[in-house]
Structure 1
């Protein structure tokens, strides 16, 4: 087996589904089409928006397209900001990072009197009227034309950092990006997602404004065709790369990223809640949140059993943690299922594992407490370090294991852990993605020059102290078990831990490798080899090529598939995750 570091691949940063249809480019083309399809007397136009769109750009375009129209902005119909803050405070909370999942709906944000007055104005309108903003479809459910401008969460986060947007009904643009994200995650996004689900069958045109000043528009038929084609074949979501205080240099080379950046620590390679989905329409890449696929085709994507268990939540997450040429991650722990349900209103926790795509000599993983550790002594040392006292001696309390290429470490909730410097981790986990309780951050600052939040209080309530040296060595490290083999392939079970609902399998192959699905969605990464081809034995989808380190999704509806090296006879490997049934 080749054990040298990979330095280059054909990693595709913009995977897309080929989709037939017309695409309108720029506000001028979009305007011509919108005028054409509203050539009636006193038309009512709804232009609904997701969180994060640039209102100034969009309302400016509407004013140029229809200068004579009356514009009703939903923001002006909301309750007063003080009232909205009071209403949402129990769910946003005063914690820097964590809130509680809101039960609120969009209707709760509207002032009843203002809403009724607006609906009366609409009912008795004497000219073209446009209802614009989040919830426009709720204000005017019987429009002559409905438009929707969507936005992926990775781009929303960029706009948080630029202080360019505000929350639903509140101006929180001056708050830290972490607090803005928290309001979005626990309150604004669940509210707007539920509203968007009610609009799917009413939207006439979808508008992509991810690139300021370069809007794209497609018709509903094209949008739905793209969704349908995606869920009937293997596909990839759009990876999102981000720097980190501990970030490394590996992804710059392998994924061909901007060499001018200091580092890249994260890659959200398969986190559909955060990632985009691209449709290639007439040579253009139309971008939307990947969640639209889950909301519209959950049964085909997840399968019946996973759909019943997880609803419209994608249960499996793959991401990269790059510390090659970087530093240690924070020492951390994730909550247990019981704690995350009770404290944050989430359905399940972030059980996870570290699969080592690559590693430098001397790389390590910190995992579990050492044999005989006194919990109170360790927690006291952590609190002292947080107050600026003696630095926390991690190796006195926490196990440090060597990290080698293709190792696999299992990390169910409650397990103390972090990746050390010199490792390229493929993190395989359940989806919840912000519930990391940091305990020690190695005396460093965040990218903003400020200390990152430390959560010893939460951590102390979830650490499983029985996961000590003996337990970790017995049940958490490289639990590889041969399962099956055939001509040119072999399969191994690699975990995960029995406390976790995700099963992982590794396949090594030089020939055609059969995969029979277990009734649910599967997520894979090509962890060895330059390229491989996924094919349907029944010919139900066209061959799909993936490259080294690319994560790809196999919808449950596919049933069975094969994987082979792109170049016959070359040595390849995949790691696969699916939900145990």
Structure 2
């Protein structure tokens, strides 16, 4: 059976089919020149505003140099302090750790050299004709007549880091350790760039998609904002991103129809809006924009009033896949308690998790909770010895090894030791601060880059809860399934999460249409059983939305009532979804 998994879900922006989208530098330059010619001023200022990670040389060669008559100003060099100043200013946020920093509250304006700024503004004031300002935070220099924002997805930035193609913003670390580059992006520049972008959405005239090398795509800002807003009125999916890993498996290759020549796929990030992207079809052009843009611009209809009040412009629910089928064990790990992440990393909430077993082989298992009688001194003493190469750490000596079957649900509140074992296909349902994993033991493996994977025993020793022993784990964290409601052809079950976690999960088994209601709150769902389902509005508020097996989709708070029905090859058969929302 050929996979139906949709790797390129898109939202069609209706009413903007003509004169709102362009592809290729030739078309884009023609449109920009036309707009410049229409500006009835002696001095014309165009700003090309960059998200950090844009290929500067590509834009310079293909756009800036097509305007030889213009005065061109590159903001990164002309108004900001030098690299050394920026790095020194943020050093306390970056820390010496290879992975973890502290969330920076910085703004771009904090790094502007006022002497440079005044000199460059004077240059603009005295100039005549066309002025092209390009680079990061371009509009902080001057108010432009034409404002173009160049954007790209977070995962694309990370791939450029890995290839050594780009450094971090205001740094020359092209070939630095990828984890350190990622750390600087996560804790510093991406947060700062998102704050800037959020404040300037209404000022942009065009959005330029710079994800694909030498294949730029541009849409009007008006169609862009309409596309984002329309997403909050219907079910939608973000573009999934698949990545290999040292423990990766083979299941996703078949089910998601991935490149068979790749050795393995470990992760699929299929609902992490901060990382994923969104496809908008405007006319005949499909642009890829960061899905976090929806959260930043339209948080209230997307998240709902209560969720927005609690989390601000953050998307609090994460769905992703962990594939160990014919692969290896994940690392033994633990996540920080709420107070620990607040006090040490500047985050408001922590990474609570759960493992929903989407599929499994007969010998699948999960490591979860410490064995009864395990002491902190002995456990971390052996981990320290293993880290020094003195002994081989025995996970099974200290951690419960629990058989895992398809549709089991293991709950993992922060502070609980855990690890998915080999031959499991996990749908991880969790809260979003996903970078905060304290690896305790990684089976002596190196990463795909050949470097030792980072271990954080000291952090782990301060958060791992030893009262979560065998009995407590089995009674509180394994298959805590309770029937909530049922009717002819359907039943609803609560499967989690634990009371220390803010996410509620509901599983529906059904062979007939099932009515749902967001009740003004964000819903995230996955089709965990069955080939296909259709999501519809009883009131006709949105077009029918088809979901295939294992696909994750978002139902914004503003949608209200919606139904899910077995569809296509699943008609007349029992299928199942799991739904997550924030518990209040």
Q: Deviations over 1:137-180 (max 9, x none)?
A: 1111x211000111111111100101111222222222111101
Q: Deviations over 1:472-525 (max 9, x none)?
A: 000000011000012211000001000000000000000001112243101000
Structure 1 stretches of at least 4 aligned residues deviating more than 3 Å after TM superposition? none
Cα offset, 1:282, TM superposition: 2.4
Is 1:578 aligned to 2:581, yes or no? yes
Cα offset, 1:64, TM superposition: 3.6
CA distance in 1, matches of 2:225, 2:84: 39
CA distance in 2, matches of 1:304, 1:486: 31
Cα offset, 1:8, TM superposition: 5.4
Q: Deviations over 1:21-78 (max 9, x none)?
A: 3311111100000000011433100000101110000111223431211111111121
CA distance in 1, matches of 2:33, 2:94: 41
Contact 1:151 1:209 in 2 (8 A): yes
CA distance in 1, matches of 2:136, 2:76: 8
Segment of structure 1 superposing worse, 280-289 or 269-278: 280-289
Contact 2:335 2:351 in 1 (8 A): yes
CA distance in 2, matches of 1:281, 1:83: 42
* 1:37 aligned residue: 35
Contact 1:488 1:513 in 2 (8 A): no
Is 1:52 aligned to 2:53, yes or no? yes
Q: Deviations over 1:157-209 (max 9, x none)?
A: 10010111122222222211110110010000111111111210110010001
* 2:63 aligned residue: 62
Segment of structure 1 superposing worse, 487-496 or 77-86: 77-86
Secondary structure in 1 aligned to 2:343? helix
Secondary structure in 1 aligned to 2:280? strand
CA distance in 2, matches of 1:267, 1:342: 30
* 1:220 aligned residue: 221
Q: Which of 3, 8, 12 in structure 2 is aligned with 1:14? A: 8
CA distance in 1, matches of 2:517, 2:11: 24
* 1:82 aligned residue: 84
Contact 1:336 1:413 in 2 (8 A): yes
Residues 97-496 of structure 1 mapped to structure 2, 5 A cutoff: 97-140=99-142, 142-496=143-497
Contact 2:53 2:169 in 1 (8 A): no
CA distance in 1, matches of 2:536, 2:63: 46
* 2:556 aligned residue: 555
Segment of structure 1 superposing worse, 177-186 or 124-133: 124-133
Contact 1:51 1:134 in 2 (8 A): yes
Secondary structure in 2 aligned to 1:128? strand
* 1:23 aligned residue: 21
Cα offset, 1:124, TM superposition: 1.8
CA distance in 2, matches of 1:131, 1:52: 17
CA distance in 1, matches of 2:127, 2:521: 51
Segment of structure 1 superposing worse, 490-499 or 511-520: 511-520
CA distance in 2, matches of 1:335, 1:62: 47
Contact 1:109 1:169 in 2 (8 A): no
Q: Which runs of 5+ in 1 are unaligned?
A: 1-6
Secondary structure in 2 aligned to 1:258? coil
| TM-score for both structures, normalised by structure 1 | 0.98
Secondary structure in 2 aligned to 1:178? helix
CA distance in 2, matches of 1:475, 1:8: 39
CA distance in 2, matches of 1:63, 1:268: 35
Cα offset, 1:382, TM superposition: 0.6
Secondary structure in 1 aligned to 2:367? strand
Secondary structure in 2 aligned to 1:133? strand
Is 1:533 aligned to 2:527, yes or no? no
CA distance in 2, matches of 1:214, 1:516: 41
Cα offset, 1:279, TM superposition: 0.5
CA distance in 2, matches of 1:327, 1:514: 40
Secondary structure in 2 aligned to 1:537? coil
Contact 1:316 1:429 in 2 (8 A): yes
Contact 2:64 2:132 in 1 (8 A): no
Secondary structure in 2 aligned to 1:199? helix
Cα offset, 1:302, TM superposition: 0.4
Secondary structure in 2 aligned to 1:116? helix
Segment of structure 1 superposing worse, 502-511 or 512-521: 512-521
Secondary structure in 2 aligned to 1:392? coil
CA distance in 2, matches of 1:269, 1:539: 27
CA distance in 2, matches of 1:510, 1:287: 36
Contact 1:35 1:65 in 2 (8 A): no
CA distance in 1, matches of 2:565, 2:76: 53
CA distance in 2, matches of 1:285, 1:383: 52
Q: Deviations over 1:296-334 (max 9, x none)?
A: 110000000000000000000000000001000000000
